[in-house]
């Protein structure tokens, strides 16, 4: 499969087209599935992502991603049941944003 066939497949399957982001390397392309989201800048690209704060991604989407990240870090299941890593909920403190994002039952 050549480069153009890959781009054609990505356009048909994922509705994305290549973006050429680097002036120094004009033949290097990036295929993104979701506008506004990029691999983590200067970080482990497997575990981090960058979000454009230019209005491409809605505030609601950003808050959902933040909530998912915080829940994972605290071992909270999003189905209302704490995960195995955290059998008890963390203590709620005014400095902790989690009580505002998730409710405990």
Residue 34: closest CA among 16, 21, 9, 22: 16
User: pLDDT band at 31, cuts 50/70/90?
Assistant: confident
Spatial distance between the Cα atoms of 14 and 12, rounded to a whole number of angstroms: 6
Identify the DSSP state of 50.
E
Give 10-29 pLDDT, tens digit per residue: 888 878 888 888 889 888 98
- Predicted confidence (pLDDT) per residue in 91-105, tens digit: 444 444 433 333 333
């Amino acid at each position: 499969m050549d480069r153009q066939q890959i781009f054609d497949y990505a356009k048909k399957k994922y509705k994305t087209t290549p973006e050429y982001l680097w002036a120094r390397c004009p033949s290097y392309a990036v295929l993104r599935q979701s506008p506004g989201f990029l691999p983590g800048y200067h970080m482990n690209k497997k575990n981090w992502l960058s979000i454009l704060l230019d209005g491409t991604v809605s505030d609601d989407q950003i808050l959902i991603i933040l909530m998912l990240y915080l829940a994972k870090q605290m071992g909270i299941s999003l189905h209302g049941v704490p995960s195995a890593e955290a059998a008890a909920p963390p203590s709620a403190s005014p400095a902790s944003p989690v009580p505002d994002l998730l409710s405990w039952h």
